[in-house]
């Protein structure tokens, strides 16, 4: 049984019919073959740029080489590379060979890589260099299906299966017959979930899935012309795959590929993109940096300008129109103050900004609204080929994830779980019929595992993961992400984890922001800038305690944090507390810091 509410189901218009990605690429090359497609600066020689004609031409050469080396239609081919042109070319080469590319997160441990390899049984693998080879050591030893091991950088591998990427790029066998045989419901890619619980599962996504999602999202967002974007999240993540790979291929847009997310601020200053996607943590980091600068250089004119922009944004929410007075005030604030701040950030040419992967804290969205940047929060998952709801320029509401996109039906189950049906839902998990049956019911409804709400205007909001809700000993249901987002509003706090399942009160584990905390400490005259030292310093603890008190004032009594601990280390994907897209791995944190949590409840 489900709750059928007005607006709970949406558009029955499907964005595409039976096109395949090679069909789309052929049209892109015909229309924009001489225009810039992808740029990267993997080497220290500045940006290198390939046109659309060059990208597709080299991809077809790779396809020919793979065909010569025994890759068959429907085979899987694994890739583990940073965001660079060879990654895109290899991916498209696999597609043109009639096979299925699957990018694997480059932070996975060798044991996990071996599990995925022996589960997906790839015929070939394309690796970037020595670090990736190290992660594939176990898989290369015992994966029985591997015939080709291609390495982009470094010395040739001493393995009879080894081939350099330069050799792949010189293939000459015609792949036309393989391309002609591809159908819309054939797999286009397989993405393995990051495995926050149990073994990773391979999500199969078809050409129809991807093109429905991408074309529908571009149309709904009003993104009609090719623009300039920056691709810095892993291509193993569906959001980056859609926005950094498939979106540009559909439109013939220009994407700058960044191999290290740490280089993102500098790249923004060089590229000045017209569209930009960031997971909430990226936006939080930008906000923390700007807030620190504004705090160090307070200016009433900036505060007034930001308030004018927030008022203007609020008037535009839910399809509204600002009054002439608000419009004039915003334009004045924008031209005299806000454009300069956005230019400093490299966001002055931005036409579209978005966030996904985790709930966007509404205060973060309001902060950027104060800079004249409306962040369109969207919602989806790998199993739905990315976003199924979105805020768009003509219909947005901060604090929500928007309305259903074309081709998607959405409803709420009796327990509040968001369920999705449509052309974007995966046909299932690779070699895992039991998990597929648990995911999609007989009527085609896919259970997302997320608890959501629907307001009177038809906007959805995500409360939290169904399995991650805290149920206190008194039976109170609490969404930990709500608490954590409020705690992270303090620039000092890098990450937050709220606990309290089966307990009488909520506690929190916190990490300090490695960029902001030392600056705050120096301004306060505190000696010693390591996170371990600052985590124990009385003044820093007082500041964090004040931030918790501020958050508690906006929470109900059962949600309020009663005790906390500031940890001495930073949480990263490599240290395992975060996924590669910077989402919290709750079970990892709970297990890794069980002793600290026990002390907080002692």
| Helix then strand then coil, % of the chain, to nearest 5 | 40, 20, 40
Helices (H), 182-254: 207-220, 238-240, 247-251
Report yes or no: 246 and 214 within 8 Å, Cβ to Cβ: yes
Least confident of 173-182, 308-317, 460-469, 548-557: 460-469
Q: Name the helix (H) or strand (E) containing 164.
A: strand 162-164
In angstroms, rounded to a whole number, what is the distance separating the alpha carbons of residues 170 and 326? 59
Tell me what pLDDT residue 12 has. 35
- Which positions ≥6 away from 546 have C-beta within 8 Å? none
Q: Name the helix (H) or strand (E) containing 341.
A: helix 339-345
Topology agreement, domain 276-466 and domain 469-600: no
Residue range 261-278, pLDDT digits in tens: 889 999 999 999 999 999
Does the domain at 469-600 match CATH 3.30.1300.10? Answer given as: no
Report yes or no: 55 and 89 within 8 Å, Cβ to Cβ: yes
Tell me what pLDDT residue 43 has. 66
Average pLDDT, the chain: 92
Helix (H, G, I), strand (E, B) or coil at 490: coil
How far apart, in Å, do the first and last CA atoms of the chain sit? 42
Tell me what pLDDT residue 425 has. 97
Tell me what pLDDT residue 541 has. 94
Q: Which two tokens stand for residue 125?
A: 């693998």
Q: What is the mean pLDDT of residues 1-10?
A: 38
- Residue 406 has phi, psi (to 5 degrees) of -55, 140
Q: DSSP letters of 205-222?
A: EEHHHHHHHHHHHHHHTT
- Residue 369 has phi, psi (to 5 degrees) of -60, -35
In angstroms, rounded to a whole number, what is the distance separating the alpha carbons of residues 94 and 103? 11
User: Between the CA of residue 208 and those of 77, 316, 361, what are the distances in Å?
Assistant: 20, 34, 33
Tell me what pLDDT residue 528 has. 72
Q: From 581, 563, 560, 559, select the one nearest 572 (Cα to Cα).
A: 581
Tell me what pLDDT residue 473 has. 79
Tell me what pLDDT residue 571 has. 93
- Binning pLDDT at 50, 70 and 90, where does residue 102 land? very high
**321: alpha, beta or left, given left = phi > 0 and alpha = psi -120 to 50?**
beta
Q: Which CATH superfamily is domain 35-182+228-242 in?
A: ANL, N-terminal domain (3.40.50.12780)
Distance of CA 187 to the CA centre of its chain: 21
DSSP label at 242?
I
Q: Which two tokens stand for residue 420?
A: 């999705």
In angstroms, rounded to a whole number, what is the distance separating the alpha carbons of residues 229 and 275? 5
| CA-atom Rg of the chain in angstroms | 24
| Side-chain half-sphere CA neighbours of 579 within 13 A | 22
Helix (H, G, I), strand (E, B) or coil at 198: coil
Residue range 317-374, pLDDT digits in tens: 999 999 999 999 999 999 999 999 999 999 999 999 999 987 788 999 999 999 999 9
Report yes or no: 457 and 472 within 8 Å, Cβ to Cβ: no
Residue range 29-60, pLDDT digits in tens: 999 999 999 999 976 678 999 999 999 999 99
Strands 428-429 and 202-206, sheet pairing: antiparallel
CATH topology of domain 276-466: Rossmann fold (3.40.50)
Residue range 520-579, pLDDT digits in tens: 888 888 877 789 999 999 999 999 999 999 999 999 899 999 999 999 999 988 888 988
Q: DSSP letters of 51-112?
A: EHHHHHHHHHHHHHHHHHTTPPTT-EEEEE--SSHHHHHHHHHHHHTT-EEEE--TT--HHH
Residue range 477-499, pLDDT digits in tens: 898 988 998 999 898 999 999 99
Residue 464 above 90 pLDDT?
no
| 80: number of Cβ within 10 Å | 25
> Domain map of the chain by residue range?
35-182+228-242, 276-466, 469-600
Report yes or no: 85 and 257 within 8 Å, Cβ to Cβ: yes
Q: What is the mean pLDDT of residues 430-437?
A: 96
In angstroms, rounded to a whole number, what is the distance separating the alpha carbons of residues 502 and 507? 12
Residue range 231-241, pLDDT digits in tens: 999 999 999 99
- Binning pLDDT at 50, 70 and 90, where does residue 381 land? very high
Q: From 107, 109, 110, select the one nearest 578 (Cα to Cα).
A: 107
Q: What is the mean pLDDT of residues 373-394?
A: 96
Tell me what pLDDT residue 194 has. 67
Write a three-state SS string for 386-441: EEEEECECCECCCCCCEEECCCEEEEEECCCEEEEEECCCCCEECCCHHHHHHHEC
pTM: 0.88
| Side-chain half-sphere CA neighbours of 247 within 13 A | 32
- Binning pLDDT at 50, 70 and 90, where does residue 406 land? confident
- Binning pLDDT at 50, 70 and 90, where does residue 8 land? very low
In angstroms, rounded to a whole number, what is the distance separating the alpha carbons of residues 84 and 4? 45
In angstroms, rounded to a whole number, what is the distance separating the alpha carbons of residues 391 and 354? 9
In angstroms, rounded to a whole number, what is the distance separating the alpha carbons of residues 112 and 78? 14
Dmax (CA) for the chain in angstroms is 72
Residue 439 above 60 pLDDT?
yes
């Amino acid at each position: 049984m489900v709750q059928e509410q007005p607006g709970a189901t949406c558009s029955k218009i499907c964005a595409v019919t039976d096109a395949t990605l090679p069909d789309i690429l052929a049209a892109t090359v015909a229309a924009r073959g001489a225009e810039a497609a992808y740029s990267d600066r993997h080497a220290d020689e500045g940006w290198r740029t390939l046109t659309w004609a060059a990208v597709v031409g080299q991809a077809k050469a790779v396809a020919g080489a793979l065909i010569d080396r025994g890759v068959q239609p429907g085979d899987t081919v694994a890739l583990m590379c940073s965001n660079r042109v060879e990654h895109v070319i290899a991916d498209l080469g696999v597609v043109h060979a009639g096979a299925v590319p699957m990018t694997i997160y480059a932070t996975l441990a060798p044991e996990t890589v071996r599990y995925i390899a022996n589960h997906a049984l790839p015929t070939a693998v394309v690796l970037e260099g020595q670090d990736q080879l190290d992660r594939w050591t176990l898989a290369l030893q015992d994966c029985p299906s591997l015939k080709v091991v291609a390495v982009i950088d470094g010395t040739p591998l001493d393995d009879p299966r080894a081939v350099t990427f330069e050799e792949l790029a010189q293939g000459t066998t015609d792949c036309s017959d393989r391309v002609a045989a591809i159908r819309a419901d054939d797999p286009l890619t397989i993405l393995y979930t990051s495995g926050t619980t149990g073994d990773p599962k391979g999500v199969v996504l078809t050409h129809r899935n991807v093109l429905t999602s991408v074309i529908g999202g571009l149309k709904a967002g009003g993104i009609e012309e090719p623009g300039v974007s920056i691709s810095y999240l892993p291509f193993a993540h569906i959001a980056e795959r859609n926005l950094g790979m498939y979106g540009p291929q559909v439109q013939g847009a220009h994407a700058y590929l960044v191999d290290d997310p740490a280089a993102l601020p500098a790249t923004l200053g060089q590229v000045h993109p017209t569209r930009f996607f960031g997971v909430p943590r990226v936006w939080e980091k930008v906000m923390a940096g700007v807030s620190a600068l504004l705090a160090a250089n307070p200016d009433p004119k900036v505060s007034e300008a930001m308030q004018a922009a927030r008022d203007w944004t609020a008037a535009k929410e839910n399809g509204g129109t600002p009054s002439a007075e608000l419009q004039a005030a915003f334009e004045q604030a924008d031209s005299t103050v806000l454009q300069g701040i956005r230019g400093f950030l490299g966001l002055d040419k931005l036409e579209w900004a978005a966030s996904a992967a985790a709930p966007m804290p509404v205060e973060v969205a309001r902060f950027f609204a104060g800079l004249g940047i409306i962040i369109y929060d969207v919602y989806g998952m790998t199993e739905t080929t990315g976003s199924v709801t979105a805020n768009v320029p003509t219909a947005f509401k901060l604090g929500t994830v928007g309305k259903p996109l074309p081709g998607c039906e959405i409803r709420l189950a009796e327990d509040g779980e968001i369920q999705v049906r449509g052309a974007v839902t995966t046909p299932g998990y690779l070699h895992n019929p039991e998990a597929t049956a648990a995911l999609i019911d007989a009527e085609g409804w896919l259970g997302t595992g997320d608890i959501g709400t629907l307001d009177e205007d038809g906007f959805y909001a995500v409360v939290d993961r169904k399995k991650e809700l805290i149920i206190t000993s008194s039976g109170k249901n609490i969404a930990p992400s709500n608490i954590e987002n409020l705690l992270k509003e303090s620039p000092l706090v890098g990450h937050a984890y709220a606990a309290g399942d089966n307990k009488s009160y909520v506690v929190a584990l916190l990490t300090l922001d490695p960029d902001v905390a030392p600056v705050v400490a120096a301004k306060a005259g505190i000696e010693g800038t390591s996170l371990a030292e600052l985590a124990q310093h009385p003044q820093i603890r007082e500041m964090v305690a004040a931030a918790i008190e501020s958050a508690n004032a906006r929470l109900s009594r059962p949600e309020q944090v009663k005790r906390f601990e500031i940890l001495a280390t930073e949480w990263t994907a490599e240290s395992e507390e975060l996924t590669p897209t910077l989402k919290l791995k709750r079970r990892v944190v709970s297990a890794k810091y069980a002793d600290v949590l026990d002390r907080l409840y002692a």
